[in-house]
Amino acid sequence: MDQQGNAPLPNGFQLDRYTIDQKLSVGGFSIVYLAHDQNSQQFAIKEYLPFSLSLRAPGEIRPAVPPEHQRLFQHGLKCFFEEGRALARLSHPNVVRVTNFFRANETVYLVMQYEHGSNLLVYARKSPDALGERFLRYLFIRLMTGLRMVHAQKLLHLDIKPANIYVRANKSPVLLDFGSVRRALAEAGKLPKPMYTPGFASPEHYGTRDEVGPWSDIYSVGATLYACIAGSTPQPADERLKNDKLKPAATRWKGRYSNHFLKTIDHCLRLDWQERLQGAFALQKALTERGDLRPRHTGTATTSWFSRFDHSMWPWQKP
């Protein structure tokens, strides 16, 4: 059995019109496979399979879900399906492309365009230019273009971190593996903190859903930039709220990077979401220019953003 508690589908398994080639990755929430269709085109297929709620033994196809977890499992499955539907409407070069989504084997699958390259963690280890300011600005300016599209569709990513940023062979970035369904399960079932990624999750991840917004993704971007330079994960936000030991980037790397760039990272990492850059456009502008970094919002603007947002569309609404 897989170390995470669930056995993957076997190589060669026929899943709808796709054939499983191999398992690519496994986590506490899903399994991702490399697969191909009848035209030999490759895809990455993500299977909804939270190991805390279900179990699949070797040789089995359908997950076994205990009665006490059925309600929560089905809630997450519905949210996963709706997230697939929403992502399928997005078409942007810097956001993972969902080409299909379907139900099978009593769970749900998202079919994504398979990208050649490596995640930012791997890329940073093998590329000497990966930690330079020029490259980081280049990468994240483009990434913010994709995130702007996500936010414009009233979606949030909620799990931005180096492992979820893919760098293609041509050095263009792709945002992968949205985390809103994990948030949905945490909200609905009071699941433990592993649903978040400590160090990259914003303070709002640990609070109420009414505080979560585009600024929460901005915190995660700032944490990702900080981690790229530091080579380690920043202090988790919930710990910072109790005893903030995170040394500001503008102090820690003074002289190694431009002051404006380091202050941009620090603004993203403000614990109070109202003091941060408020969205992907503001951060993109800050990374492009060298101007004023004061948060460009008022209480009215924030209220207006929420009033335009249909909260019934949020994937973590109560089941």
- pLDDT tens for 284-317 read 999 998 644 444 443 333 333 333 333 333 333 3
What is the reported pTM?
Answer: 0.84
What confidence category does residue 209 fall into, taking pLDDT thresholds of 50, 70 and 90? Answer: low
For residues 294 and 277, give the distance between their C-alpha atoms in angstroms, rounded to a whole number.
7
Greatest Cα pair distance in the chain: 59
What confidence category does residue 183 fall into, taking pLDDT thresholds of 50, 70 and 90? Answer: low
What confidence category does residue 61 fall into, taking pLDDT thresholds of 50, 70 and 90? Answer: very high
Domains and CATH numbers, the chain: 14-113 (3.30.200.20), 117-313 (1.10.510.10)
Question: What's the confidence (pLDDT) of residue 207?
Answer: 78
For residues 77 and 285, give the distance between their C-alpha atoms in angstroms, rounded to a whole number.
37
pLDDT digits (tens, 9 = 90+) for 119-165: 998 898 888 677 899 999 999 999 999 999 999 988 889 899 999 99
Question: What's the confidence (pLDDT) of residue 178?
Answer: 84
Burial 200-226 (b: 16+ CB within 10 A, else e): bbbbbbbeebeebbbbbbbbbbbbbbb
